[in-house]
């Protein structure tokens, strides 16, 4: 699924956010990037999501160079960042509709998918609430529910776990497991061993932008 070779990310001449990163992730593998805050985990996920450009190195996704990868045609990927991205002045329903309309679905298909999600995830009470009026935890949950509209080849989740209360933590863990089908490769960034143990079989440990250990 994913191959990383000699990857570096430098913000200044003196400071490397990522330094000489090398590893492979197989199709359908579940991998945790484990480390303290500022250890490079988020920067790496942002590179994989094409939101950040590496300074040098190579990344291949299913043998396609990352710079040539088209997320619309080559792979079905989902990324949950630490700062959820929604249209804040629109409602939950309107945000879902906006995403599905961008995929070219018919109005009836859009209605069917949204109504199914509302029922399946008990969103009746908040479907007409604007995103700006929801909590950060609710936005994380909605970010994951939004990904349930399609089957994913690759799911990437940044370190959202430190910001969750106990109840929402369990909801988020359940949603991630539901989204990770037999065909899905999962990459999770976390500071918590508990998260890595519950979701993943492989752990890659980061410190100061470098890999310090890898456990299968």
- The domain locations on the chain are 91-150
pLDDT at residue 212 is higher than 90: yes
Q: Pick 12 or 156 by higher pLDDT.
A: 156
Q: What is the pLDDT of residue 13?
A: 72
Q: What is the pLDDT of residue 103?
A: 87
pLDDT at residue 96 is higher than 90: yes
pLDDT digits (tens, 9 = 90+) for 14-53: 789 999 999 999 999 999 999 999 999 999 999 999 999 9
pLDDT at residue 118 is higher than 80: yes
Q: Taking the CB of residue 138, how many other CB atoms lie within 10 A of it?
A: 17
Q: What is the pLDDT of residue 214?
A: 84
Contact (CB, 8 A) for 196 and 190: yes
The vertex-170 CA angle with 164 and 176, nearest 5°, equals: 95
Contact (CB, 8 A) for 13 and 39: no
- At 154 the three-state DSSP class reads strand
pLDDT digits (tens, 9 = 90+) for 43-72: 999 999 999 999 999 999 999 999 999 998
Take residue 168 and report the two structure tokens written for it: 């929402």
Its pTM stands at 0.94
């Amino acid at each position: 699924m994913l191959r990383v070779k000699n990857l570096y990310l430098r913000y200044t001449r003196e400071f490397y956010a990522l330094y000489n990163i090398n590893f492979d992730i197989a199709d359908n593998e579940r991998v945790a990037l484990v480390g303290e805050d500022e250890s490079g985990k988020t920067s790496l996920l942002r590179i994989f999501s094409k939101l950040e450009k590496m300074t040098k190195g190579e990344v291949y996704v299913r043998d396609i160079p990352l710079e040539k990868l088209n997320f619309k045609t080559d792979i079905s990927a989902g990324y949950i960042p630490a700062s959820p991205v929604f249209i804040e002045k629109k409602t939950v329903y309107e945000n879902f509709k906006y995403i599905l309309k961008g995929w070219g679905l018919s109005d009836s298909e859009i209605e069917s998918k949204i109504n199914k999600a509302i029922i399946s995830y008990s969103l009746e009470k908040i479907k007409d609430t604007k995103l700006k009026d929801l909590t950060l935890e609710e936005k994380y949950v909605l970010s994951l529910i939004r990904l349930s509209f399609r089957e994913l080849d690759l799911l990437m989740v940044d370190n959202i776990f430190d910001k969750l209360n106990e109840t929402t933590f369990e909801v988020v863990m359940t949603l991630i497991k539901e989204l990770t089908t037999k065909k899905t490769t999962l990459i999770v960034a976390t500071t918590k061993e508990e998260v890595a143990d519950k979701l993943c079989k492989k752990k890659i440990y980061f410190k100061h932008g470098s890999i310090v250990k890898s456990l299968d």
